[in-house]
Amino acid sequence: MKHESLGSITMTATSQWNDLRQWLALAEHLGELRLVRGASSEGDIGAITEMLEHSEDSPCALFDEIPGFEKGFRVVVNCQGTRTRQAATLGLDPGEASHERLMSYWQGLLRGLEPLAPVEVSSGPILENVQRDGEVDLSIFPAPIWHPQDGGRFIGTASLNVMRDPDSDWINASAYRNQVFDKQSIGIWISPGKHGRLIREKYFERGQACPIVVVVGSDPLLFMAACAEGIRYGVSELAWAGAVRGRPIEVIPGELTGLPIPAHAEIALEGFIDPTELHPEGPYGEWMGYYATGEIRTPVIRVKRVYYRNDPIILGCPQGKPPHEDNRFLAYLRSCLIKDQLEKAGVPNVQAVWSPPVGGNRLLTSVSIRQSYPGHAKQAALIASQCSAGAYMGRFVVVVDEDIDVTNMDDLLWALLTRCDPQRDIEIITRCWSGPLDAPIRPDERGLNSRAIVDATRPYEWKHRFPEPVVTPGEAAETRRLWGWLLDPKGTPPPELAGVE
């Protein structure tokens, strides 16, 4: 396996790697990359990915020599499944990749993040190979069948679907699923309300085909940006990613659409979404862990240009029962986006927010506050449930006091079970933003759902009369400081306890 030199990659406050290949070289340097030869695209790659994504601290895997495809045409999965690799993506020291470090990074960055527009360049590795019009042949790429009952090969599971708003210069780049239909066409499935769908419908309402570039092999940071629900309407994910990276993303205009294509991407497909043509799509194993939609009919992208590097790599992130890879990295980003939006909405004394991976980063949001006035908890819950980072397909919002660690499910459940009176403290709000993938909603009623708003704080009116906890967080922390070494078979006492055995 050939990699570019690691010599120019340094761990600083901004990412210094340029593309997926340099990122993989860094992952290999960290001991978190495995090369797999001979796994089939029809079953093995999907099954292996499922295993990796549901195993803590598992490596990312690069598949090569895939039966039926040219050697060097590869697939990589589980890129950001660990905090160490997430830190590498963000240019942080992987040795300091703790939960606290990632949370503080995102909280600090989001407060003053200013989008940094991409810069146009004349050439880049993405132009090493170009197929035009009748030459287009998507069958050369080893797009996997990710789940046993999937309706076909999905080349876009970690894709950037790049579109331009016809009424402005806004470029949207979001992650939607793309099934291969034949050698020259793919599908695009977008849930109602998503920015890409709003843009696409503007073209369709005018009877026009929608120009699009689908990047199915990008670097992990661009995929992270494409997944970041909560980026403000009208802000480009490419510009957002440039701000996170600390330098602009280099792009090349597509030959037909002029849409920006990341110059260091692996594979990009340029074409048009037909306003009238529909094609059977799916089933596909979706993010709640179910084949939620069965076979449906979706618009068709007619691919007119294919750009790809020598020995191209498909970036894969299939959905399934959470937690999967994107849940693990989005837990930090989405939690901090919600906290940032709560604070910008004027909610004071928000201590922490957590959207755990096990809930797919949508189904459960927990917020801790330092109660400051009557109704403070409900205000926080309602805004957390409906701000742009939290509105789509949520289920439960639980608000707790500042002594509760919202990232600890035992702590959260203790607050829920001992501070919440169901009749008084649980309210249901209805007609909230959902979509066709919402499994517990009747198939013919999907699109709207309800939310449970749970106040698991001490009742404000008599919080000072609420029973005192047996152990406070401060007391527990001090015990761990002094005696936590007992939990480690190789641990030693701190200096003040020298001589204790």
Residue located via tokens 């004071």:
348
Q: How many CB atoms lie within 10 A of CB 131?
A: 18
- For 198-229, the DSSP string reads HHHHHHHHTT-PEEEEEEEE--HHHHHHHH-T
- CATH of the domain spanning 325-469: 3.40.1670.10
pLDDT at 500: 58
Q: Which fold has domain 114-311?
A: Pnp Oxidase; Chain A (2.30.110)
pLDDT at 191: 86
For residue 211, what are the contacts with CB-CB under 8 A and spacing of at least 6? 163, 164, 256, 257, 258, 259, 271, 272
pLDDT at 12: 39
Residue 182 Cα distances to 29, 187, 300, angstroms: 38, 10, 11
Running along the chain, 501 residues long, what does each successive block of 10 average in pLDDT? Answer: 37 64 94 96 94 92 97 96 93 89 90 91 96 96 95 95 94 95 95 91 96 96 89 90 93 97 98 94 84 86 98 94 87 92 95 91 93 96 93 92 94 95 95 84 86 94 89 85 86 74 59
pLDDT at 1: 38
pLDDT at 253: 97
Give the residue extent of every domain in the chain.
114-311, 325-469
pLDDT at 8: 39
pTM for the model: 0.88
